[in-house]
Structures are given as C-alpha cells and as structure tokens.
A and B are shown apart, each in its own frame.
Chain A
Amino acid sequence: MINNLWLHPGLILLAGALVLPLVKGRLFRPYLLLVPVLAFGAVLMMPQGGYGVVPFLEWDLTFGRVDRLSLVFAYIMTLMCIIGTLYGLHVDNPFEMAAAWIYVAGSLGVIFAGDFLVLFLFWEVMAFSSVFLVWFRDRPESVWAGFRYLLVHAAGGMVLLAGIVLLYHATGDLGFHQLDVTRPTLPIYLILIGFILNAAVPPLHAWLPDAYGEATVSGAVFMCAFTTKTAVYALARGFAGMEILIPLGVVMALYGVVYAVLENDARRLLAYHIISQVGYMVAGVGIGTELAINGACAHAFAHILYKGLLFMGVGSVLYMTGKSRFTDLGGLYSRMPRAFVFTLIGGLSISAFPLFSGFVSKSMIVAAGFDDHLYWAAFLLTLASAGTFLHTGLKVPYFIWFGKNHCTKDTWEKAEDPPVHMQLAMGIAAFLCIFIGVYTPYLYDMLPYAAVYKPYTAYHVTESLQILLFTALGFFVFLKKLTPKPVISLDMDWFYRMGGRVFLLGAKKGMDYLSVRAQQYLGQALPRSLNKFSQSGPARLSLLLIRPLWYLTGVPVKGPDGVEKRFTDTFNQSLFTIGSSAVFIILVLMVLLFFVT
C-alpha cells in the first residue's frame, strides 16, 4: 500500500494495533496516543491523487483514491480516533483498543477505496473488528447483542457482495464511482441495500441501538462515529441524487425521534438519535445538489464530534456509576458538574443551536431541501430537529443531572466527575463543537464542493431560536409526560430475536414429530410388512401359479373350507416355509440388484 511515498493512514492503525498487545509498562499509554496522532498526521500531509494501486489477478486494485470527498471524512475520522483513544486511556485490555483501531482502519480503508473489491474487504473488516467492542463489555447481554450485530452485518455484507459481483458481471468495471441512479438495476439496488444497512435505515436499523447500548464505555464512542458515517460517505460517493433516499432519510429522522421519546436507557436514546441524524445526511445525499452533498459531509463531520461527545458524557456516568438508565439516575449535577456541561454542549450542538456545530451543518441540508422545492421533506426534517432538542438537548441532561433523584446510595457515592483523560477528551470535542459553530470557514473550506452557504442570517437565527426555545417551552409544559419509565421498546430486532425462538421451537417440535414418526414407520411398520412379505411371499407366488388350475378343476377356492386356505395353512406349517422364504428373499434381492446396477 506504499506507493509514491504515500502511506495509508489505515495501515498505520493496523500495524499499531498488531504491535499494541506487545507494548507493556510505562510505554503503553504514550504509545496509545502516538499511533492515532501519526494516522492523523498522515491524513493532514496527504496530497490529492490516486495511490496504492496493487495488481491482483486481472484487476488493478486502488487502495488510495484521495480527493476532497475522501479527505474530509478521513480528517474527521482520524481526529475522532485520537479523541476516542484519549477517552479510553484507562482501558487496560490492549485488545479492546486494538479492535477499535482496526475498526477505524476499516473505515479509512473504505473511505480511500477506489474500487468495490477493496471497499468490500474493508467493509467486512469494520464489522468483524467492531463486534469486539460490544463483546468486551463482558455481560451475557452484550455477548448476544454482539452476535446479533455480527449476523446482521454479515447478511448485509453478502447482499453488498452479490450486488458488486452482478455489477461487475454486467459492466466489467469494478471502479467505485457515482452509479447510474436514474435507471437503477438489480445490482445497484443490492449495493444500495448493503450501504443503507450500515447507515441504519429502517427497517434495517435495529442492530444500532441493540449493539451500541451494550458496547463498552469507550467502544460506544468509537462505534457511534464510524459505521454509519462510512456508509454516508459510500452513499455520497455512489448514490448522490438517488431520489428514494430523500423519503428514507426523512423517515429515519422521524423514526429515531419517536423511539427516543420511549427510551429509558440514555445510551440507547443517543443511539436512536444517531439514526435520526444520519437521516438528515441520507436525505442530503438523496437531494444530491452540491449544497446538499456539502451539507451531508458537513453534518457527518459535526455529528462525529458531537455524538462522540454525547456518548463520552453519558459514558462517563456509566463508567463512574455503572448506570445508564434514567430511572436509576437523576439529580447528579452536584456530583458530576463537568460531565453535565460537556454533555450539554453536545446536546446543544446536535440540536443545531446557533453558535454550535449542528447549526452550521444541519441547516445546509434543510436549506438544500427548500432550494429544491422539497417543502415536505424540509418541514419534516425541521420537525425532527425539534424532537432532537427535546430529547438529546433537554431530556438527557435533565433526567440525569436534574429531575427526580433515583440514585441508590451506592450510585450517589460512586458518582463524581470522571478521570482527567476523559475530561480532556470531552473538552477537546466540546471545543471543536463550538469552534465549528463559531468559525465556519474551518469546516466549510474542507467540503468537497464550492457551494456557498451562510448560516448566520438574521432570518435563520431567529427561525432556529424560535423553534428551539418553543420546543423547550413544550418540554417543561409536558415534563410529566416525558418522565422516563422502566420499560423497553420493541423494534425490528424483535423479528430476528423472536424469529430465532420460533425457529428453535419449530426445530424442536419438528424433530420430536420426526422422531416419533420414524419410530412408528421405520422401526415398527416397515419391518413388520417386510417380515410378512418374506414369510408369505413363496405361498402367494405358488398360489399365483396354482389358482388357475383349481378354477379349471372346479373345486371351491375361496371361503373357510376352500382349497386356498388349506393350501396356505399347510404351507405355513411345513418346514418347507423356512427354506422357501430364504430362497425367495435371495431371489428378490437379486432382482433388486439387477435393476439397481
């Protein structure tokens, strides 16, 4: 992968991850920070162009297609890798961070992939490394959630591969470019399904809250940043302007909001809001104008930071107290004030509050919708943004740090601000969330297209403030309605969780039935009839020959006094039966042998 002095940043992380378990003692933590910083440095120094072309069989595989679209994603992903690693510096298990780095390397591999084969390779690397971030939580629930996560992604990967193979068969081209979205064919739809499964588009989304809610504290910080945003990149690269993505994105944005209302677990609530936020990006890709694609990229950039910050904030509560359900928390502001402030900054950013990052990114997509006269989409996305503020901006901070105190004595005593490295990681992310919101050229200059957008107009600021502040009014008016309850919500994973059970039950019942029937027929009825066949076979055969003679002579044949009965009785009682049966069986076997061979 080193070509023309170009070094794949994913390779740095991959090599770093392989060496990581060997690094011990005082070097361990400095090494942890060094590797992602090197990867970030590699992205910063990277000139645009095509690199890392490797001949493989009859193809030239491209590992390094570097352009503005891939660079903006690579920049934020390696930056998030530094922040996530800093946040997870307390983790002693070297394999957890190694899994996280391989996962990031997988994302970077997809981002820089110039063809579908390389894309697929790294696509699978992501799924098979990130699952360890769930498993390392070490709870029985996380083991099962990890398996479900892996199975869903393996299925999605197979659909993607089928699409790639069919596309190659049809066009003879493996290159990963914009696909023909105006006249989509089966392979294009299959690739789309593979991509939108990773983007968590309903009904293919249930893996996300299922796995992210069960992941380790630092694992969730990584997971929330990479899988869905890599999918957004892939969609922006291949499916810009595909109209079906607009309604899908709008449905996502609303779906996440609805489930967030019902959710009691803070991390699952944040996971549902990933679906909601990625909905904006998917809709942006569907709109497909330069402004919309810029918006999707900008929102992915901002999202990685604020969602990472939110997962870090709520994760720090989980890390310190062992609790993440609202009904186990509350009133913690005096115990964890800094975690509160960082989470609030994340909440205001995701809610697109003026001066925070979401304001300058999310509104690009909504504006692109209005510009394209897609009023229904733009209004529904705005409605969803009210829901975002309602839940991530208000519900999460309120019911963890204020509201009714549900903490046990143990929880209350354990709760205090997290270790310095976690606060530092949250501080960096929080600073960037505000910096992006205040100094727009930082983000806008990185975007792939030159489309100009000005978020800070009097109209837009007043519009946003009205929506947000009146949503806040609604929140406090209906506070009682929003009080979390200790329940779970059924989602699409019900089908494969319960489907699995139905299969198990069906298999058990089916096997029982099969076993009883086999016993009845193969064990009893068949031997009995075979026995009867070989015993009475010779007599019946003789009867076939002799019966016409009896009819000719006129003796009574049938009936209790008939010759037939007397003949069979005599036949059965004589020693001749045994010998004739043996001869008969041999004859039958020989006939069978003759016909079979």
Chain B
Amino acid sequence: MILDLIEFLRHRLKRVIQVCCVILVLLVGFDALLLDKGKAHTAAENMWGFWALFGFVSCVVIIFVSKWFGKLGITRREDYYDQ
C-alpha cells in the first residue's frame, strides 16, 4: 500500500511538483491576505510572507555557512584517525 502510493506519486512527479508550488503560493497568499497578525511577536512579522522568507533564508544560510565551516579543515578523509 505504501509502496503503491510512492510509485503513484513518482510516476506523476511533475504534477506533484506543480501541486507543491501551488501550496507554497497559497500559503503565502493566505499569510498576506487573510491571516490575523495580532499574535505577531515583532513588527517585522507584519510583512507578508515574513516566515516564508525566514524559512528559505535560514535554509540557505545553514547550508552555506556549514559548507564554509567544513572547508576550514573540519571535514577530513574517513581514515583520518586511523593514520
């Protein structure tokens, strides 16, 4: 059953990606137009799509900062400690 579902989705990968993109747009749309921002903690959050931007930027920052950090000499060959 699980396998059938995964195969079903994989065979329609293009459609799945389209649906996901629509969900992202709807989410930001909902945030911009309908959401009551009375519960926001800071003024910046009143900007529409603030948390979407925050999520995406966080992701990019984490990936690039970590990769940069790794290149400082932190990542080594797997047999580093065996030498």
Contact = CB atoms under 8 A, between A and B. Distances in A.
B7 to A, nearest CB: 8
A471 B58 contact: yes
Contact of B54 (A262, A382, A465): A382
Given A383-B61, A459-B39, A481-B67, A486 B24 contact: no
Contacts of B78: 486-488
B2 A341 contact: yes
Contacts of B35: 458-459, 462
B14 interface: no
Question: Which of under 10, 10 to 19, 20 to 34, or 35 or more describes the interface residues of B?
Answer: 35 or more
A465 B27 CA distance: 8
B66 A262 contact: yes
Contacts of B40: 459
Task: Pick from A370, A375, A378, A471 the residue with the most CB of B within 10 Å.
Answer: A471
A337 B9 CA distance: 14
Interface in B1-47: 2-3, 6, 20, 23-24, 27-28, 30-31, 35-42, 45
Contacts of B49: 466
Given A378-B41, A383-B62, A466-B27, A490 B53 contact: no
Given A382-B54, A386-B55, A488-B80, A469 B61 contact: no
Nearest to B73: A490
Q: Chain B interface secondary structure, helix, strand, loop or mixed?
A: helix
A337 B76 contact: no
B75 to A, nearest CB: 4
Given A262-B70, A378-B41, A471-B58, A466 B51 contact: yes
Contact of A474 (B6, B30, B36, B63): B63
A459 to B, nearest CB: 4
B63 A262 contact: no
Given A333-B6, A471-B56, A490-B73, A387 B62 contact: yes
Question: Which of under 10, 10 to 19, 20 to 34, or 35 or more describes the interface residues of A?
Answer: 35 or more
Given A466-B28, A467-B54, A489-B75, A482 B63 contact: yes
Task: Pick from B42, B56, B65 the residue with the most CB of A within 10 Å.
Answer: B56
A510 to B, nearest CB: 23
A489 B70 contact: yes
Nearest to B3: A337
A387 B81 CA distance: 28
Nearest to A468: B55
Interface in A433-474: 457-460, 462-471, 473-474
Contacts of B2: 337-338, 340-341
Task: Pick from B20, B62, B64, B80 the residue with the most CB of A within 10 Å.
Answer: B62
Task: Pick from B58, B63, B67 the residue with the most CB of A within 10 Å.
Answer: B58
A531 interface: no
A478 B60 contact: yes
B16 to A, nearest CB: 11
Given A383-B58, A458-B35, A488-B80, A478 B75 contact: no
Contact of A462 (B42, B51, B62, B69): B51
Nearest to B80: A488
Contacts of A257: 62, 66
Given A383-B61, A482-B63, A490 B55 contact: no
A462 B30 contact: yes
Interface string A361-388: 0000000001000010010001100110
Contacts of A464: 51
Interface of B: 2-3, 6, 20, 23-24, 27-28, 30-31, 35-42, 45, 49, 51-56, 58-67, 69-70, 73-78, 80-81
4 shortest A-B CB distances, which residue pairs? A474-B59, A261-B66, A467-B55, A470-B55
Given A474-B55, A475-B59, 9 more contacts: A262-B70, A382-B54, A390-B62, A462-B27, A466-B28, A470-B53, A473-B56, A488-B76, A490-B74
